[in-house]
Structure 1
Amino acid sequence: MQVTLIRHTSVAVETGTIYGFTDVNVANSFPTEAREVAQNLAQEQFDAVYSSPMSRCTKLSAYCGYPHPILDERLKELNFGNWEMQNWATLQDPLLQEWYSNWIHIPAGGGESFMNQYQRVRRFLDELRQKPFRHVCLFVHSGTIRCAHIYAGMISFTEAFSKDIPYGGRSDIQI
């Protein structure tokens, strides 16, 4: 099964803001960015379209012609717990350095670890593989895409952040 992964467009938050589980709005550049994504998908035929329930994903899905995607909580970004809506540059938490040294297993800000997020995404993809689809599209987040790349064997956990995933970016995997 081919899975097309689309990252949401830019968001209306200050650079460096931690917003994983927070439902932040899209940036003013949304129409321009979304138009590019829609053009990129214009020739595609999907058997199903899924989305994170976050508005930054559902707005893009709707703009691209999929106003009623199948929403799934497992497709959300990492839950950064108490760090949500704080800025990385000014974050004051004694556990931050510990998290940096073991972000795969230590929950961010008391939220969830990258492994927790991966397990969520893995369960979704395991379930998706059982469906009779040939090509599906997911409107999601960079962390979700990184988890999907690990699932597909494209990268390892330690390589998860070695490549940038741009806003509005597209990636395709086979599962």
Structure 2
Amino acid sequence: MNDTQNETNLHVEWWIVRHGLTPWNVERRYQGHSDQKLLSGEASGLELLRKEIEEVSFSAIYCSDLSRCRDTLAYVRPDLQQVAICDDRLRELNFGEWEGQTYDMLKEDPLYRSWIDNPQEVTPPGGESWDQFRDRVTSVYRELMLLSHSLVAEEQNPVILIVTHGGVISMLSSILQPGLGFWDTKVPIGGILRHKIQL
């Protein structure tokens, strides 16, 4: 096999986890940057995830700095807490004044209705614009790609664990797979999405 073939066989896997269940998830409230804790124990819905990843050797671990993600990591892989890189760029979209509110509480607000119909053009009051969110996630994507190239030079088929939020998972997926829309990716709470990336 020649060098070109060797290079094309290099790959890294990103295992992207959505945090476990919080009280605001149950109440269907927008969480965004609000720092919600997980429901306790098995109520957080993480048992299957814990069994799925308990014996996986991860080359790097990234985690949103919000409690619901850090607590998810602590529950499913407590051995990785000390080596995880907690990064605020992995936070959910900042919903501003809408955080803590539900659809029913907001549905009569014309600005909210406009945002639902066209989130790329409308910004939640006191929150984060679509462009700001995309740029933030793109920044961490670029860092993860640099890390991926570095890791494959040192080990075979490394796996990176990323613990984050639903919106971030959708945005990362749309960056990784051109043509994939933001709304095309849906990962359940406590779920995992694997991306195999050829380098």
TM-score of the two chains, using structure 1 as the length reference: 0.89
The residue aligned with 2:141 is 125
Counting only pairs closer than 5 Å after superposition, residues 18-167 of structure 1 correspond to structure 2 as: 18-28=30-40, 30=42, 33-65=45-77, 66-68=80-82, 69-91=84-106, 92-131=108-147, 132-133=150-151, 134-153=158-177, 156=180, 159-167=181-189
- The structure 1 segments of at least 4 consecutive aligned residues displaced by more than 3 Å after TM superposition are 28-32
Residues 94 and 34 from structure 1, CA distance in 2 versus in 1: closer, same or farther, beyond 3 angstroms?
A: same
TM-fit CA distance, 1:48 = 0.7
Q: Deviations 1:13-64 (Å, cap 9, x if unpaired)?
A: 2522111110111124546622221111123211111100111100111122
Tell me if structure 2 keeps the 8 A contact 1:49–1:136.
yes
Q: Are 1:168 and 2:193 counterparts? A: no
What SS is found at the alignment partner of 2:46? helix
What SS is found at the alignment partner of 1:2? strand
Larger Rg: 2
In structure 2, list runs of 5 or more residues that go unmatched. Answer: 1-11, 152-157
Give me the CA root mean square deviation: 1.9
Deviates most, 74-83 or 26-35: 26-35
Q: What is the identity percentage for the equivalent residue pairs of Structure 1 and Structure 2?
A: 27
Residues 122 and 30 from structure 1, CA distance in 2 versus in 1: closer, same or farther, beyond 3 angstroms?
A: farther
Residues 32 and 78 from structure 1, CA distance in 2 versus in 1: closer, same or farther, beyond 3 angstroms?
A: closer
- What amino acid does structure 1 have at the position aligned with 2:39? A
Tell me if structure 1 keeps the 8 A contact 2:38–2:44.
no
Distance 2:179 2:32 in 1: 22
What SS is found at the alignment partner of 1:6? strand
What SS is found at the alignment partner of 2:52? helix
TM-score of the two chains, using structure 2 as the length reference: 0.79
Residues 163 and 121 from structure 1, CA distance in 2 versus in 1: closer, same or farther, beyond 3 angstroms?
A: closer
In structure 1, list runs of 5 or more residues that go unmatched. Answer: none
Aligned length: 173
Residues 35 and 10 from structure 1, CA distance in 2 versus in 1: closer, same or farther, beyond 3 angstroms?
A: same
Point out the structure with the larger helix share: 2
- What amino acid does structure 2 have at the position aligned with 1:104? Q
Distance 2:19 2:42 in 1: 10
Tell me if structure 2 keeps the 8 A contact 1:49–1:70.
yes
